[in-house]
Structure 1
Amino acid sequence: MHATWTLQDFGGKQPSEIFREHFLTCFISDPIGVKLRHDIGIDNICWEADYPHSDSMWPNAPEQLHEVLTANSVPDDEINKMTHENAMRWYSFDPFAHVPREQATVGALRRASGDHDVSVRSRSHQIPCRETRRVPQEGRSGARRRAAEVRPAGGWLAADRPACARCGQGVGRARPAPQPRRSPARTKPVSYAMTTS
């Protein structure tokens, strides 16, 4: 129907066929999408961890994904397609040419990162240099310590922010200066003078 005004010719193919030839979908946590995987097209679905974004399931992504896959009775061949094989095919990339498959399992990767701190931390308390936009060399934990030492309870006023040793500009997030409180507009009472004649 749309072809009459878009002048597109898909060679008689259905929209679902075009979709399956040209689109790769991905999900972070989507129990309904996994349940409907055959309607969508099992070869067009990829799971993504979305690390390091704050909305990712990291560091418990494998366990949460396993729950969804188990709840929907997804067989191993389909798990392999959704977790890595589809992405490998669509992007013509073989990660196992760089990291052997046995070293790329969840268990192997966790063992390899055993001496790294992978705890979840808030990054909102870092104080980057305004000039370089980087946290100073003392590291992120040092920036958090500095922030805790100098930040007033309610935040900084723009004029009170500490200066960066490198650029001399104020660092950290400034809260706006307090504005005078405005009272709601008031109307003057209207008086009606009655005259008698």
Structure 2
Amino acid sequence: MRVVTSKAALLGLIIASTNLYAEDYNFKPGLWEFTSIDEIIEIDAPPGMEKLIRMSYESESSDDPEVECINDFEHYIRNQIQNADEDEDEHEKVVCNQNIKRISANKMESEISCAIGQNGTSLWVAETNFNGESLTIMGEELVESNFNNELGVSGHLKMKIKTSENGRYIGSCKSEPNE
């Protein structure tokens, strides 16, 4: 009786563990279209800089959706961070660390912290919810920097940005995936 109970308990544990950890995310590989809304929700900057930063930030935002061929979403996110590390401008090197945590087949949490040059930091925390042929990403980023620009303006900048992104599957990929 004891052996049967132990085997039943072990079998139940195995079945439960495979249900808790699905092999893949609930994500359909292929061509995806992403739209996002970014909003500066808090900014602390020297006088005159806030307006300039908001104008600059809004001019970089686009209503045009981005289209990407993705076969593995987690791999795609890791590549995006690696590309940010490599996209150095002439003034600042960006080095990022990332922690991606799988919650379930339908949810992923990510935390990305970056050193920006010698005087800045960025921390981005987000939750991604997968639903087969659609997904949503909700995140917040906190940026802090001490700066001294070409115009001789120096000071401290602290900014919090809220991001809401929606993705939808639009078909199969026609070329090599970006993963």
Name the TM-score class by shorter chain.
under 0.3
TM-score (norm 2): 0.19
| Greater helix proportion | 1
TM-score (norm 1): 0.18
Instruction: From the CA coordinates, give the structure whose radius of gyration is larger.
Output: 1
Q: Which structure is higher in RCO with an 8 Å CA cutoff and minimum separation 6?
A: 2
